[in-house]
A and B are shown apart, each in its own frame.
Chain A
Amino acid sequence: MAITHYWRVFMTFLRNSLVRDMTFRWNFIINSISSLSWVFMNLGFYILIFHQIGSHGELAPQSGWRQYEFFVFLSTTLLINSIVQTFFMPNAEEFSELIRRGGLDFALVKPIDTQFLISLYEVDWSSLANFVFGLCLLSYSLYRLDYHPGWFQVVAYPFYVICGVVILYSLMIALASTSIWLGRNQSLYNFWFYLTNFSRYPMEIYRGPVGDWLRRIFTFLVPVLVVVNVPARLLAKPLEPEHWWLMLYALAATVGSFALGRWIFLKALDSYRSASS
C-alpha cells in the first residue's frame, strides 16, 4: 500500500516535469546539447591521452586501466552522474531556496515523507541524454574488450550503480540540509562538486604519500571513491578475491551514507524556522 502510494506520487512528479519540459522545448533541447557537449569534450580529452600512450597503455603507470576498460569506467561515471542530475540535482538546488524563502512550509504539512517529497519533486529530463550516451559508450567499450563478464557481474553492475547514486545523493542531501542552520550555503553545494570530482578516477591512481591519504579519506570518511570504482571494476575486470571486501564495503557505505544523510536531514527539519511571510 505504502509502496504503491509513493510510486503513484513519483509517477506524477515524472509526468509533471515532462509536461513542463515539453512546454519549454527549446530550453530542453539546449540543455541536452550543452550537457552532451561537455561529455564529448571529456571523452575527446581521454581519447587524446590514449592516442598518446596507445590503447594498450595504461591511464596512469601500473594503474591497470587500459583504454576500453577505462571507457567502461567513464561510462559508469556518466550513468551515475546523469541519474543524480536527472532526479536529485534540481531538487537539491531548490532545497536551499525553499528554506530561505519559507516554501518548505508546504512540504512539511503534506502527509508523505518530507525527504521523499523534496528530493524527487522535480525531474530534469534533459539530463537523461547523458544517460543514453553512457549506455552507448558502455556497450561499445564492452564489445571492444576481449574479456566477457559473467552473469553475476551483469546482475551486480546495475545494483552497484544504484548504490553509487545513493551515496552521491546522500552526500548532496546532507550538504543541502545544512542551509537550514546556515541560512544560505551555495558554497557547500559547490563543495559537493569538488568532492565528487574524486570519484571520477580509478582508485589505483591515488598512490604515494599524498595519494594514500586521499584514497583513505575518500574511501572511508567520505566514500565517494567506491561510487564508480566498484561497479566499473566489476564489469571491466575479472573478479578477484580482494574485490569482494570492496563490494561488501560499498554496500555498507551505501547504507551508512543514506542513514547519515537522512539523520542530518531530519535533524535539520527540527531546526527549521520558516521565513516569515
Chain B
Amino acid sequence: MAVIEVRNLSKTYRVYQKSEGLWAAFRGLFRRRWREVHAVRGISFEVEQGEFVAFLGPNGAGKTTTLKLLSGVITPTSGEARVLGHVPWRRENAYRRRFALVMGQKNQLWWDLPALESFRLHQHIYRIPPGEYERTRDELAEMLGVRELLGRPVRELSLGERMKMELMAALLHKPEVLFLDEPTIGLDVVAQHTIQNFLREYQRQRRLTILLTSHYMKDVAALCQRVIVIAQGRIVHDGSLEGIVERFGRSKILTVQLADGQSSRDFHRYGKVVECQPPRVKLRVPRQGVPELVAAILQNHAVEDVSVEDPPLEEVIAEMFSCVQQQTSQESPSPVSTSSA
C-alpha cells in the first residue's frame, strides 16, 4: 500500500491585488480587486514506503504548497490525500506523531537557547521515553558531527550548523515520513554536501519515506531516484531524473578533438559552437541528427576523438520550465475577478 496517496488535490488562494499609488490604495479601501491564485491544480500521485522523491519546479510552482497540504498545515480547496492512512488536514495527533516537516527558511528552535533545550521540549511533546531519546539524540549528533555544538545558543550557530540542528529536532521522534522544504537553501558547498550525505545515509538505514523540494539540482541528483516536476500547479513529469533529459532535452553536446593542423573554422555549419579551443571544439546539436552529424564530421575532418553528452541537467530543467510555462500560459490565462469586500 502506498504511504502517500494524492488524488486531484487543488489549492486556490484569493489574494488582494494591490495597485500602485496613493489614490489606488485609497480606492482599495472600498473596492478590492481579488485575484485567484491556483497554487496547486488537481495533482495526483502516489509514493511507496521507502521512496526518496524530489519535487522540482520554478518558484511559485506549487512545491511548498503541496508539502504544506500533506503535512496538514493548510486545507485544500478540493481533492483528497492520505498519508500513512490519515487525512493530513484533520491534524490528528496519531498522524502528527509519525511525520516531520523541515523548512530551510524557517526556524523552529528557541533562538536564545542551546539546541539541546529545544530537543528536550520535543522529547516531551512527542512523548519519547528518556533512554530512547538520549540514544537517538547522540546517534544523530554523531552522524551530523555536531556533538560539541549542542550546548551552544542557536543564535551563535552558522546557518549550516543551525540546519543540522533543525534536522535533528525533526528526526528525534523517528518519523516514518519526512517532508523537506529546501533544506540546503543558502548553505555553502561543504554544508550542502554534509547534509546530502547525512540524508542519504539516514534514509538508507531507516528506509523512511522522504519528499524533498530543492532548487539545487545537485541535491536531487545525489539523493532521489524519482522526480516529480511541477509547474504552474500541475505535474508535468513523474519519473527518473534521466527521464527528464530523455523527454525534455532537445540537444546534445558534441565534443570533437581534431588531429594536428586541422582547422576548426567551418564547424558552425554542423551546429552552434559553444566553445572553440583548437584542437578542441564543442558543439550544441539537435538531438535527432546526431549520428548523421558525427558521420559527416568524421568524413570531412581528421578527427582524433568524438564524444556525445547530454547538456548539464540545470540547462535541461531550465529549458523544460520555460517550455512548460509557455504551454500553460497559452492554455489558460490566470483569471482575474473583481469583487467588493
Residues of chain A whose beta carbon lies under 8 Å from any beta carbon of chain B: 5, 8-9, 11-13, 15-16, 19-20, 23-24, 101-106, 108-112, 114, 117, 270, 272-274, 276-277
Contact A9 B72, CB 8 Å, known A23-B112, A105-B106, A109-B96: no
Q: Can you spell out 25 A-B residue pairs with CB atoms less than 8 angstroms apart?
A: A9-B124, A11-B124, A12-B124, A13-B121, A16-B118, A19-B113, A101-B106, A103-B106, A105-B68, A105-B73, A105-B103, A105-B106, A106-B106, A109-B71, A109-B99, A109-B100, A111-B94, A111-B125, A272-B73, A273-B74, A276-B64, A277-B104, A277-B105, A277-B106, A277-B182
Residues of A within 8 A of B101 (CB): 105-106, 109
With both beta carbons as reference points, the residue of chain A lying nearest to B39 in the complex is identified as A276
B75 within 8 A of A: yes
Partner of A106, one of B64, B108, B124, B126: B108
Alpha-carbon separation in the docked complex, A110 to B91 (Å) = 9
Interface size class for chain B?
35 or more
Residues of B within 8 A of A19 (CB): 113, 117
- Whether the Cβ atoms of A111 and B106 lie closer than 8 Å is no
With both beta carbons as reference points, the residue of chain B lying nearest to A183 in the complex is identified as B16
B120 within 8 A of A: yes
CB distance from B16 to the nearest CB of A (A): 9
Contact A110 B106, CB 8 Å, known A9-B125, A12-B121: no
B198 within 8 A of A: no
B181 within 8 A of A: yes
Contact A277 B93, CB 8 Å, known A12-B121, A16-B113, A112-B125: no
Alpha-carbon separation in the docked complex, A110 to B95 (Å) = 10
- Whether the Cβ atoms of B73 and A5 lie closer than 8 Å is no
Partner of A102, one of B60, B106, B117, B153: B106
Per-position contact with A for B20-44: 1 when CB-CB < 8 Å, else 0?
Answer: 0000000000000000000000000
Partner of B103, one of A117, A270, A277: A277
CB distance from A111 to the nearest CB of B (A): 4
B110 within 8 A of A: yes
B13 within 8 A of A: yes
Residues of A within 8 A of B75 (CB): 270
With both beta carbons as reference points, the residue of chain B lying nearest to A20 in the complex is identified as B112
Alpha-carbon separation in the docked complex, A277 to B102 (Å) = 12
Partner of B93, one of A12, A105, A111, A272: A111
The 5 closest A-B pairs by CB, nearest first: A111-B96, A111-B93, A106-B108, A111-B97, A8-B124
- Whether the Cβ atoms of B182 and A9 lie closer than 8 Å is no
Alpha-carbon separation in the docked complex, A108 to B101 (Å) = 10
Residues of A within 8 A of B94 (CB): 111
Contact A16 B73, CB 8 Å, known A105-B68, A109-B99: no
- Whether the Cβ atoms of B68 and A274 lie closer than 8 Å is yes
Alpha-carbon separation in the docked complex, A16 to B60 (Å) = 37
CB distance from B151 to the nearest CB of A (A): 12
- Whether the Cβ atoms of B13 and A273 lie closer than 8 Å is yes
A104-B73, A108-B73 known; 11 new pairs, CB 8 Å cut-off, are A9-B125, A12-B124, A15-B117, A20-B112, A106-B108, A111-B94, A270-B75, A272-B73, A272-B74, A277-B64, A277-B181
With both beta carbons as reference points, the residue of chain B lying nearest to A275 in the complex is identified as B106
B127 within 8 A of A: yes
- Whether the Cβ atoms of A109 and B72 lie closer than 8 Å is yes
Alpha-carbon separation in the docked complex, A111 to B110 (Å) = 18
- Whether the Cβ atoms of A16 and B110 lie closer than 8 Å is yes
CB distance from B212 to the nearest CB of A (A): 14
Per-position contact with A for B284-309: 1 when CB-CB < 8 Å, else 0?
Answer: 00000000000000000000000000
Per-position contact with A for B66-95: 1 when CB-CB < 8 Å, else 0?
Answer: 001001111100000000000000010110
CB distance from B28 to the nearest CB of A (A): 14
Alpha-carbon separation in the docked complex, A270 to B91 (Å) = 11
Alpha-carbon separation in the docked complex, A154 to B138 (Å) = 51
- Whether the Cβ atoms of B113 and A274 lie closer than 8 Å is no
- Whether the Cβ atoms of A109 and B73 lie closer than 8 Å is yes
CB distance from B197 to the nearest CB of A (A): 24
Alpha-carbon separation in the docked complex, A112 to B112 (Å) = 23
Alpha-carbon separation in the docked complex, A20 to B153 (Å) = 10
Query: Which residue, of A15, A109, A117, A272, has the highest number of chain B Cβ atoms within 10 A?
Result: A109
- Whether the Cβ atoms of A9 and B96 lie closer than 8 Å is no
Alpha-carbon separation in the docked complex, A109 to B75 (Å) = 13
CB distance from A201 to the nearest CB of B (A): 37
Alpha-carbon separation in the docked complex, A127 to B110 (Å) = 20
CB distance from B244 to the nearest CB of A (A): 24
With both beta carbons as reference points, the residue of chain A lying nearest to B101 in the complex is identified as A109
Residues of B within 8 A of A102 (CB): 106
Residues of A within 8 A of B99 (CB): 109
With both beta carbons as reference points, the residue of chain A lying nearest to B98 in the complex is identified as A111
Which residues of chain B (51-71) have a CB below 8 Å from chain A? 60, 64, 68, 71
CB distance from B290 to the nearest CB of A (A): 41
Alpha-carbon separation in the docked complex, A111 to B72 (Å) = 12
Partner of A24, one of B73, B112, B124, B182: B112
With both beta carbons as reference points, the residue of chain B lying nearest to A107 in the complex is identified as B108
- Whether the Cβ atoms of B121 and A274 lie closer than 8 Å is no
Residues of B within 8 A of A8 (CB): 124
- Whether the Cβ atoms of A108 and B113 lie closer than 8 Å is no
Contact A274 B125, CB 8 Å, known A105-B68, A110-B96: no
